[in-house]
Structures are given as structure tokens and as C-alpha cells.
Amino acid sequence: MASLGGVLLPTAAGCVPGPPADSLTVAGGEAGGLYLEFAALLASSLQRHGVAKKASALETGGSLENMDRLARGEATLAIALSDAASDRLGGDTPSSAPSAAGGARMLALGKVYENYLHCVVRKDSGILSVADLAGKAVAVGDPGSGTSLTARRLLEVAGMSAAAPSPTTPGTLPAFQLGLNRGLAALRDGSVEALFWSGGVPTAAIAAFAKSTKLQLLDLSPLIPTMKARFGSFYERVLIQENSYDGIPATWTVGVANLLLCRADLDRDVARSTVEILLQHSAELVPSSSRGVQYLSPETLIGTAGVPLHPGAEDAYRAFHG
């Protein structure tokens, strides 16, 4: 994974900007996570470089809600985890479907960055592995998030079925559909014993929590081969570096790529100009809390996990790479 490093790339040859769109919206994520901050930076860059007269970011529950908003025309662009996008839109999964909710066809503009699946527990919990979660209450992500899909898949391959809180039955664990901020509050008051979150490193809300509460992360990487075999090749072994969060050692986990999506009917010039922002002005798109090691690069942008590129994106990559 390449750092953006503040390097500006050469302008793609032969591209003349089209007229700016009146308004663009980027569906992001929860406050305290990198989805929303990235969406806000992208919106500012789109407006600054004349791709749109006005651009803004939308606070949402995450990948699934973002794709729903895109399908309904409430967002122009949407950030989504590649496993969630491929499952919804069609791609490298056994259960793929050809279109998103409402029948709107969606396409990719690029692979923008890497998400790290966190499983956060309190240091004094006695939970040392995924197997120790059996029978424990866990927060598996907002219902509209990609976290909820990835976390449930991971628990399934671990032999646990995440179910709504109810009297415990063998093989199940009570799963609360709580996003990042509500999940951290529940971890603080003890109503859950683990929190799943898929985001960048460090995630600001978790970093703030770790300053007041001793935490640890579970190594999720042993489950990756089975996840790949069952659900597709979206999952890779990635390392959360030591002291990304106060007092937490380096921990291996599950990495999932993030895609920037649009509807197929997005104006071709707007799609092309948006990709040119990703290629030429990537240094503007690094959230302030990030260590800058998991973000988009010209070499990886076109790796969209089987989700087809918008023709305007193809134009931009063809001009850039020659």
C-alpha cells in the first residue's frame, strides 16, 4: 500500500475539462471515522478544481446506506467496501446481483483506500481470540454499514452465528447493530464486550477512547483463508502498526479495499474529472488523523474487485497511463 506522500502527479494528457456540475454530493460515513472525513476532503477538492459549482459530504451509516442513497439519487458519489459493493452490484462473490437497490446500475471510479477490520475489546475482558467471543455480546456495526457484512461473515466462518439479542442458544452470540460511536459507548458501559469496526488507521474515535480506557485488538487474520474460500478474494492480511492506538501492540487483521462508486448515468466528463482529482491531487485527500499509508495510488486505483469502471473513469486512466 503506497503512501500519498504529498506528491502531485502529472496532468493526464489530452483531457479538456467539461462544464462543472451544478452540485455533487459524496456519501461518506459516521462522524469519527475516515469515511466521512475522506468524503468531505473529496467534496472540497471537486469544488476547488471546478468539477462542481458546489460539492458536499453526507454523513451516513456506511457502505450499504451509501449505495442505497446512490441508487435513489440522493448522492452523486459513494464510498463502499469492495465486498459489500460486489455483493450488491455483482462481482467476485457467489451471491452477486446485477444492480443495486431500485435497479439503478452502479459503476466504479476507482479503488481509493484500504479498510482495516478492528475487533476492539477492553484489556481486562479476558478475551484473547475470536473463539473467546462465543456467547459474548458484540457490536457488529450500523445496519447500513459494510462493517456489518464483513463482521458477520467473519463470525460465520469462526462457527458463530450473530443474532439479535435474545435468550442465548448454542452457536449464537448476541449481536447489537451499533455503529462506531454508539458501539464505543456500549463498550464503555459494559453492555457489549467487543466492537467490530472497519475503517482506516488510526480511527479517530477509537484513538480518543484508547486514551482513557485500556484496549486491545484481536488478531483476525487466521480466518482470512476461509473467508476468501467462502465469500471471494476481497480479504487480505494487513497489519495495524504498534501504537496506532495507545498501548496496543501491532496486530494482524483483515483488510478490505474501499471503492468510490457512481451511477452509470453520471455525466462522462464529470466521472473523468473526478478520477483526474484522484490521480493528480491525491495529497489533498488524506484525512488529518491518518498515517497516510493506506491510501489510493495510481497503480492500484483500477483494481475495483470486479465492479466495472465508468467509461469516464476509463478515459482518465487511459490518458494517464498511456
All structural domains of the chain, each given as residue ranges with its CATH number in brackets, are: 21-113+258-321 (3.40.190.10), 116-256 (3.40.190.10)
Give CA–CA dist 264/108, Å, rounded: 9
Give the per-residue pLDDT at 164: 55
Per-residue pLDDT of the chain (322 residues; tens, 9 = 90+): 333 333 333 334 444 456 788 999 999 998 888 889 999 999 999 999 999 999 999 999 999 999 999 999 999 999 999 999 988 876 443 333 335 544 568 999 999 988 999 999 999 999 999 999 998 999 999 988 999 999 999 999 999 976 655 545 545 578 899 999 999 999 999 999 999 999 888 888 999 999 999 999 999 999 999 999 999 999 999 999 998 999 999 999 999 999 999 999 999 999 999 999 999 998 888 887 665 545 678 888 998 888 999 999 999 999 998 7
What's the pLDDT score for residue 144?
87
- Separation between Cα atoms, residue 166 and residue 174, nearest integer Å: 7
CA angle 203, 118, 108 (to 5 degrees): 75
Residue 3 has what pLDDT?
Answer: 33
The reported pLDDT for the residue numbered 161 is 74
Q: Angle at Cα 79 formed by Cα 75 and Cα 85, nearest 5°? A: 105
**Where would I find the beta strands (DSSP E) of the chain?**
21-27, 52-58, 77-81, 106-122, 138-139, 161-163, 172-176, 194-199, 215-217, 235-240, 251-263
Residue 154: in which H helix or E strand, if any? Answer: helix 146-157
Give 176's strand partners: 139
User: pLDDT at position 299, please?
Assistant: 83
Q: Please state, in angstroms and rounded to a whole number, the distance separating the CA atoms of residues 199 and 300.
A: 18
DSSP letter, residue 24: E
In 3D space, the residue among 178, 203, 208, 207 whose CA is nearest the CA of residue 193 turns out to be 178
